[in-house]
Amino acid sequence: MSGIPDLGPPPERVTVHVGQVRRLIGDQFPRWAGLPVRPVARGGWDNFTFHLGDTMVARLPSAAEYALAVGKEQRWLPVLAPQLPLPVPVPLAQGHPGMDYPFSWSVNPWLPGEPASIERIPDPVPFALDLAGFVAALRSVDTDGAPRPGKHNWFRGATLRTYEGQAGRALAALDGHLDVGLADGIWQAALAALWDGADVWFHGDLAPGNLLLDGGKLAAVIDFGTCGVGDPSCDLAIAWTLLTADGRQAFRERLAIDEAAWARGRGWALWKTLVACAQTVGRTDEEAANARRVLGEIFSG
């Protein structure tokens, strides 16, 4: 379709090991050379993440496409952080290619907490309101000079039609495994709900793993690699991927989301969940079960 960005082939990922990170630290940041380096458990896909001592992490992009976010985070997280109600990872230093590692990278503070999950949130409505408060504060930050949708964030903030091909292929693969008619109806409604508002800031990947809890309460938000300014409805997907029905309603009311934006947010959640469901057909593991659970939330409204 004319005017729709081309996502291109999947990123070609590199590998990073502990010894390589130690050498990078020693060469570029000798003041930290004596600190232990160890991988972060479940450190993510876009970046390899390593503990650096007890209070920092080294965060190294796993592919050239993900490395596009490094300069953006270095530039904008110090601007965003003072205006947000929760801690975010403001970079402490920027690393450069070396030791056979080809990309720029970051040293960030380690923000303690456990990744969010339904089971870890005892009070879903207060949690939803706290999350909505964070989103509202982010949306209120001035957008002058801020990054618009592009390859640096996989076109978050732009049209959902960017992902029309992926969604269509997933629906075809899932025919006979779920109510494809219902899913396609939700998807088409999202595509039809056009956005014509003013650019605002969005996080771009408000996924459970990027929301940290302390005692069941929202304590920090991490991984701003997909952040930017544009249509913020991508940040609404969390309403279906993590929140309960009551939490979802509280989240929507706190942000005063209109019908069109809500439809687009549901579409963002559906696109990613359809892909996950297509990748886990026939499986019974935790990832497959979670994809089916989220799809049920999306189908329920």
Question: CA–CA separation, 244 vs 128, rounded Å?
Answer: 9
Q: What is the pLDDT of residue 9?
A: 83
What is the band of 3 on the pLDDT scale with cuts at 50, 70, 90?
A: low
Which amino acid makes up residue 57?
Answer: V
Tell me the pTM.
Answer: 0.96
Question: CA–CA separation, 54 vs 109, rounded Å?
Answer: 9
Mean pLDDT across the stretch 158-178?
A: 97
Residue 25 confidence (pLDDT) above 60: yes
Q: What is the pLDDT of residue 1?
A: 37
* Cβ contact 281:292 at 8 Å: no
Mean pLDDT across the stretch 249-263?
A: 98
Question: CA–CA separation, 200 vs 274, rounded Å?
Answer: 27
Q: Which residue has tokens 């949708």?
A: 149
| DSSP codes joined into one string, 194-246 | ------EEE-S---GGGEEEETTEEEEE---TT-EEE-GGGGGGHHHHT--HH
Q: What is the pLDDT of residue 10?
A: 86
The CATH architecture that domain 114-300 belongs to is Alpha-Beta Complex (3.90)
Mean pLDDT across the stretch 255-268?
A: 98
- The residue extents of the domains of the chain are 18-109, 114-300
Mean pLDDT across the stretch 27-38?
A: 98
Residue 285 confidence (pLDDT) above 70: yes
Q: Which of 32-46, 183-197, 230-244, 255-269 has the lowest mean pLDDT?
A: 32-46
Q: In sequence order, what are the residues at sequence separation of 6 or more whose Cβ sits closer than 8 angstroms to the Cβ of residue 252?
A: 239, 262
Structure tokens at 22: 């130690």
Q: What is the pLDDT of residue 101?
A: 98
Residues in the chain: 301
Q: Which of 44-48, 160-164, 198-202, 276-280 has the lowest mean pLDDT?
A: 44-48
> Which helix (H) or strand (E) element contains residue 265?
helix 259-279
Residue 2 confidence (pLDDT) above 50: no
What is the band of 295 on the pLDDT scale with cuts at 50, 70, 90?
A: very high
Mean pLDDT across the stretch 121-143?
A: 98
Residue 145 confidence (pLDDT) above 50: yes
CATH 3.30.200.20 fits domain 18-109: yes
